[in-house]
Amino acid sequence: MAVYSLYVINKSGGLIYNRDFAEAARVDTNDSLRLASIWHSLHAIASQLSPVPGCTGIELLEADTFNLHCFQTLTGTKFLLVVDPHASFIPALLLRIYELYSDFVMKNPFYETEQVIKCELFDEAVEALVRRYLQQAQA
């Protein structure tokens, strides 16, 4: 049970926030920027390829060693969480992170929308939230 990393992608596909919770999860900076924009387009292609109308994009990607959960807000910002395949309650955790984003980033008067998030309070709150989640998961 582990949470590896968090990515926040703005509505045009740029990476605005990246945090790794495990050392091994660290990805090269250039690669993480590219991964973010690739995810943005894959998300759009997946809804285009949908055999049913009204598809809003990928919500969960399952791989051998990790699961990637994606939450897209109404404004097009995407929150990605890379977690262990056995982790549970991740969609709820993503919603909590979105709440923290609204509180600490969007309400920050010095934050310019769609720009890189540099906000200490958000960092701390996310860190605390993930720590609390892991403790609860172990208990």
Partner 1 sequence: MGCFNLYIFNRQGTCIYYHEWFRPKSVKQGAGTLADDQKQMFGLFWTLSNFCATLDPKDQTKPQLGTPRKIGQGCKFKSFTTSSYKCNFLEVPSGIKLVLNTHREAPDLTDVLQALYDDIFVEYVVKNPLYVPGQPFQSDQFVNALNAFLRQNGLLQQQQIMAAAS
Closest approach, Cβ 108 to partner 1, in A, equals 29
Q: What sign has the CA pseudo-torsion 96, 1, 123, 18?
A: negative
8-state DSSP, 102: I
- The answer to whether the beta carbons of residues 117 and 8 sit under 8 Å apart is yes
Establish if 68 lies at the interface with partner 1 (CB under 8 A): yes
Minimal CA–CA distance to 81: which of 111, 95, 30, 109? 95
Amino acid present at 28: D
Span interacting with partner 1, options 11-19, 20-28, 94-102, 113-121, rule CB under 8 A: 20-28
Closest approach, Cβ 39 to partner 1, in A, equals 7
Span interacting with partner 1, options 57-65, 103-111, 118-126, 130-138, rule CB under 8 A: 57-65
**Interface residues toward partner 1, by CB under 8 A:** 4-5, 22, 24-25, 27-28, 31, 34-35, 38-39, 42, 45-66, 68, 82
